[in-house]
Amino acid sequence: MDKSILHLENTDIYQSDNLVLSNVNLKINKGEFFYLIGKTGSGKSSLMKTLYGDLKLKVGSGSIVGFNLKALKDKEIPFLRRKIGIVFQDFKLLNDRTVYDNLLFVLKATGWKDKAAMKSKIEEVLDHVGMKTKYYKNPFELSGGEQQRVAIARALLNDPELILADEPTGNLDPKTSLEVMDLLNKIHQSGKSILMATHDYALIVKFKQKTIKCEGGKLFEVLAQSSS
């Protein structure tokens, strides 16, 4: 039985018509944590966007949480995104509604109906990220670190099999970055698989995990013991 939660085989990653990564092979098994590193423009974001259905997979074969990326239809993308949690660099929270209502919006959009179940789930994920007492605030009243905690809570709402974190500490100061990383680490230890794109080498050194790198149009695994 294949226990991979993400599997790309001989795939080419395109950003519109430009080939950004060629012959990508990647396998992430349930419960694994991978960093995705590489300079700006090296293809990290394009790879991430392909994984959550923003960019089409044109060449090679790929599967993620049971979905065939090559055959993915537009109408299937919302279902794919229910099974993965996505955390963005710029939080993407709705500023005109409270933390609670931000999360409620996602649950309603992904098909939840039972009010009591929704309330209970929102309280559970906010508690998990240490934001339960700030449920009534609007995002603009929160610090960057708090907003990212809410964004992580949002990513956990549908109990995803895989979390894709695209530069989740990119807009945060070093101390806050460590706190957010600590939280992602705890989530990983609870059994979640995580693929995190980052350029923050201090975090990679402090929280050692498997690391893959985009460079020169290729993706390859970096051996953990090198500290370069």
Residue 223 Cα distances to 86, 115, 211, 213, angstroms: 26, 48, 7, 10
DSSP 155: H
Whether the per-residue pLDDT at 24 is higher than 60: the answer is yes
Domain edges within the chain:
4-222
pLDDT at 201: 85
Model pLDDT for residues 140-153, shown as the tens digit of each residue: 999 999 999 999 99
Q: What is the CATH code for 4-222?
A: 3.40.50.300
In contact, 202 and 180? CB cutoff 8 Å: no
Strands 33-37 and 162-166: unpaired
In contact, 164 and 34? CB cutoff 8 Å: no
Residue 59 has a CB neighbour count (10 Å cut-off) of 15
Model pLDDT for residues 185-214, shown as the tens digit of each residue: 999 999 999 999 998 888 888 888 999 999
* pTM for the structure as a whole: 0.91
The string of DSSP codes covering 54-97 is SS---EEEEEETTEESTT--GGGHHHHHHHEEEE-TT----TTS
